[in-house]
Structure 1
C-alpha cells in the first residue's frame, strides 16, 4: 500500500473515534429520517440485514408522513430519494449480492437523505479525499503508460462517483451534473484515448478541474465558529466506501490473473 493511502486510511480510522455532532437547526422530524438512514447503514455494516430492512421500511413510513404534512420536496428530489431507497431495500432482500455491494447501495441512500436535509456541508463532500486520491492514481498510471493500473483505478473512480451521484442530483445544478456526466462518460468509454490522444488527456485534466470546483463550491467558510460542527463528520462512510473500492480492485485483479492463466494454457 502506498504511503499516502496508508495515511488516508489512518485518518479515516481516527474519524471513527469522533462522535457526530447533530445540527440543532434541523427540524426534529427531518432529523429523525436522517437518523433512521444512518442506523440502517450501521446495521448493514455488521451484517444485520433483517434489522436494516426493518429500518428502511420504517423510513418509508416516516417519509410518507412528512410528505403528507406538506413538506416541500420537489418531484425530482422525491424520485431521487425513492430510487435510492428502493435499491437499498432490494439489496437487503438479495440472497446473492455481496456484503460490500449491500454497503454500497445503503451508503448511496444514506448520503442522499443527508443531502436532502443538510443546511451546510453535506456528507458526500467528505468523499473528496478518496475520490481525488483515486483520480490522481489514474493520472499517474497514464503518465507511466500503465494500462492495467489505469483501468483498476478507473473502475474505483467510477464506483466512488456512483456512490455520490444521487446526492449530486440533489445539491448541484443540472448544468453542472450534465457537464460532469459528459466528462465521466468520455473517460469510461474512451479510456484508451488517455494514452494515445491529446484530446483524451485534455478531458482528464478538465474533469479534474470540474471535480475540484465541485467540492470547493460546496465547502463552507471554516472560519465561521457556527460551522465548526461540520468539521466533525462520519468517517465510517468514507472507510466503508474505501473498503468497497478495495474489494472491487481485488476482484478485478483476481479476474486478470484467471485470464492470464487461461492464455498460458492455450
Structure 2
C-alpha cells in the first residue's frame, strides 16, 4: 500500500479503548468539518471488530445527527444487539464532545448460498481511458479556493475516474447522474473488512454534487450549505476494492 492509503487504513482501523469502545482520529479534507464517509467507515470498522469470525456485513443504515469537528477524535460505542446462529446485529453511536453525531445499525451474516440475479452492467468506457479526479483538478488548480487547493492536489488514497467529468467551479445544468470508476491507490490486504469499510468511506463522495446538477449549482458556491442526512448500503457478495468498481449515482 502507498503512504496515503496506509494512513487511511490506520485512520479507519481505530484504537480499542474498552471492550465495546473505540476511538478514531479525524482527517481534515479542507471543509472545516469531518467528512461523512470517514464517520461511516469508522463506525463500520468498530462494529466489525465485535462480530464473531466468519460473518461479513450485508447491510447498514446510518443517520448523521450533528456535524463533526475535523480537529477532534471521535469515540464509537458499539451495542451488541444480537448474535444469532447465522446473523449478528450491531448498533454504533459516534460521540464527539460528549454528544452523539452519528448512529448506525448494521447486520452481519454467515456466508450462505441462495438464488442470485443481477442488473446488467451499465455501459462505461474502461477506466484506463479516463483522467482521474486528481488529474482533472490539476488542470484547474489556479481556480481552486486556496483553503482547499493543497488537499485537492494532494496524493489520494482512493483513485476516482469520472466518466462524465463535472467542474464544480463552473457548474452547468445537466441530468442528476454520474458514473465513476473507483479503486484504492494500491494493493490491500485480503481481510474483507478492510475492503468493506474503505468502500463505505468512499461511497459518500459525489452524492451531493450529483443532486445539484439539475440546478446548475455547486457545493463550492458562496453561502451554499450541504450535509449528508442518512446513508444506507447493501453488500451482496465479496469484492476487492483494490480492483476497479463502477459507481453509478442518480438522483431521481
TM tier, smaller:
under 0.3
| Higher-RCO chain (CA-CA 8 Å, sequence separation at least 6) | 1
- In terms of fraction of residues, the more strand-rich structure is 2
Tell me which structure has the larger Cα radius of gyration. 1
TM-score w.r.t. the length of structure 1 is 0.26
